[in-house]
Structure 1
Amino acid sequence: MDLLFIRLLLDFGLMVLIWIVQLVIYPGLCYYKNEDLGKWHKIYTQRIGVIVGPLMIAQLVVTLMQLMQAQNLYTWGSIVIVLITWILTFLIFVPLHNSINPGESCEEITTSLVKKNWWRTFFWSILFLGSLILKISDYNF
């Protein structure tokens, strides 16, 4: 299995995951009672972390490997975008999720999460499209 195919799978997985989070999970938070939201949110963040964490780490490792093989617009652009998604995740979303409490209205929580998450949705979609275009064009590093 070649590195670009592995990268394509990782980018696809993160893109599908972020779109599900954006369109289903974050808006779905409003369907919990305030007292249940805090309980569910803690479970959700632990479970989603088990999925997202390894995917993000693998994506970073593969992107760095591609950058070591070839320095071009795709590899440099990819590493920049991957690092941006890491920064957004750990400097904005982890603290935002940690600040969620059952006393907040779900509209505030959902609006904030959905509005800010469009950036990650955009970046992970761009990463996938870039990998897909290269794979279709049969680019070799």
Structure 2
Amino acid sequence: MDILDIRLLLDFGLMVLIWIVQLVIYPGLCYYKNEDLGKWHKIYTQRIGVIVGPLMIAQLFVAALQLWQTQNLYTWGSIIVVLITWILTFLIFVPLHNSIKPDETCEEITSSLVKKNWWRTFFWSILFLGSLIFKISDYNF
């Protein structure tokens, strides 16, 4: 398995994960009672962090390694989009999740999460599509 295969798997994993979060997990928060929502949200963020954290670190490492090995449109564009996902995650989503209060309604919580999360969904989807096209085409663009 070469670095491009590893990258493709990481990008695919993060894309699938973000679409599940966007279409299932965030909207699913509305099925909890308000008194349980705050408790579950805290558990959810800890558990999802164990999955997302290593994937994001590995994706950043592999993207940086690819850029170090070869500088082209794919590697430069890729590292920029990976950094954008990091910025969105740590400057917007971590504080947003940390600001959720146990007494907030699901509508208050999910409205902001879902609207803003479309950006990460878009960027992780673009990363996967870029890696897939790069892998399939064998074109060094």
TM-score band w.r.t. shorter chain: over 0.9
Counterpart of 1:85, as a letter, is T
Residue 4 of structure 2 corresponds to residue 16 of structure 1: no
How many angstroms does 1:34 deviate by? 1.0
**Runs of 4 or more above 3 Å deviation:** none
Report matched runs for 1:1-141 at 5 Å: 1-139=1-139
How many angstroms does 1:56 deviate by? 0.1
What is the Cα-based RMSD across aligned positions, in Å? 1.2
TM-score where L is the length of structure 1: 0.97
Counterpart of 1:69, as a letter, is Q
After superposition, the C-alpha distances for 1:96-115 in whole angstroms (9 at most, x for unaligned) are 00111121121111110000
Identical aligned residues as a percent: 89
Counterpart of 1:86, as a letter, is W
Structure 2: any 5+ residue segments left out of the alignment?
none
Partners of 2:74 and 2:139 in 1: CA distance: 11
Partners of 2:51 and 2:109 in 1: CA distance: 22
- How many residues are paired up? 141
SS class of match (1:122): helix
